[in-house]
Amino acid sequence: MTPKPTLLKVLDYLSVIVLIIAAYLALVYAPTEQIMGDVQRVFYFHIGTAWVGLLGFVLSAILGIAYLVTKDMKWDIIEVAAIEISVVFFFITIVLGSVWARPAWNTWWTWDPRLTTAAITELVYVAYFMLRAGVEDPERRARFGAVYALFGGLSAPITFMAIRLFRSIHPVVIGAANQNQEKMNMSGDMRVAFFFALFAFTVIFIDLFWNRIRLGQLESKVEQLKLKVM
């Protein structure tokens, strides 16, 4: 394998630095929210991870199309990298949301459209990895993965609309909770922490993405060599 490019090394260090700054801004710099207290501080990382999670899922659907059109393995490697990182970040998003919901809404979980869609989306991509694990031929695995990534990307917005329709019959708890969330007023210092978290997670995402793509390339190289030797 080619040695790590200098730019990637720089990016590795930069990711750690921005993560520390983002954590400082979220935990110390931003003022404590009056109504919810300290738990509101998870919100910065919640939005940050959600943003990069969604970014990866949208990217993967596009990469799936790119693979199906070109049949070039490099798109498959990038697609897996995007989905794997997004699954990890989205899992964190859901857990952070749940931790926040417990004191704010007095429950770990409500079946509100956003939460439910997030959970289903996460399940779609867990299914994606189960599908890949069941297929040995790399080329077929890539085709199946691309098709499923495309399906997942298409179904997520429709799922959100379907759940919103469904939930409109019981607007009581959820409606109130949602308004509460929308109404969250951010002071200037909070906004700094918020936007810095978005920036930090974008940098971290790019760094992990690049590292994971290199890992994927190594993986396919080993796989090919195995076929050649054995």
Partner 1 sequence: MTNFLQATFAVFRKDITAELRSREIIFAMMVFSMLVIVIFNFALELDPATRKEVTSGVLWATFAFAGTLGLNRSMAVEKDRGCLDGLLLAPVDRSAIYFGKVLSNLAFMFIVEAFVLPLYSALYNVNLFNPGLLLVILLGSIGYTAVGTLLASMAVQARTRDVLLPILLFPIAIPVLLSAVKASTGFLNGVEMAEIWPSLNLLIVYDVIFTAVAFMVFDAVVEE
Partner 2 sequence: MEPTPDTSAYMIAGYAVFFIVSAIYVASLFIRNRSLQRDLETLEDLDAKK
Decide whether 28 or 130 has the Cβ nearer to partner 2: 28
Phi/psi of residue 214, nearest 5 degrees: -65, -40
- For every residue of 116-170, DSSP letters joined together read HHHHHHHHHHHHHHHHHHT--SHHHHHHHHHHHHHHHHHHHHHHHHHHHHHHTT-
Q: Is 136 exposed, middle or buried (0-12, 13-18, 19+ CB in 10 A)?
A: exposed
> Where in 106-125 is the site for partner 1 (CB under 8 A)?
120-121, 123-124
Q: Count how many Cα atoms sit within 13 Å of the Cα of residue 210 in the half-sphere of its side chain.
A: 15
CB–CB of 148/131 below 8 Å? yes
> Where in 46-65 is the site for partner 2 (CB under 8 A)?
46, 49
- Going by C-alpha positions, the residue among 26, 35, 84 that lies closest to residue 56 is 84
CA angle, 213 then 43 then 175, to 5° = 115
Decide whether 46 or 150 has the Cβ nearer to partner 2: 46
Binding pattern for the stretch 67-106 against partner 2, x by CB under 8 A and - elsewhere = ---------------------x--xx--xx--xx-xx---
150 binds, among partner 2, partner 1, none (CB under 5 to 8 A by kind): partner 1
203 binds, among partner 2, partner 1, none (CB under 5 to 8 A by kind): none
- Can you tell me which of 8, 23, 47, 173 binds partner 2, judged by CB under 8 A? 23
Residue 42 CB, nearest distance to partner 2 (Å)? 4
Q: Which residues bind partner 1 (CB under 8 A)?
A: 68, 120-121, 123-124, 127, 130-131, 133-136, 140, 143-144, 146-148, 150-152, 154-155, 158-159, 161-163, 165-166
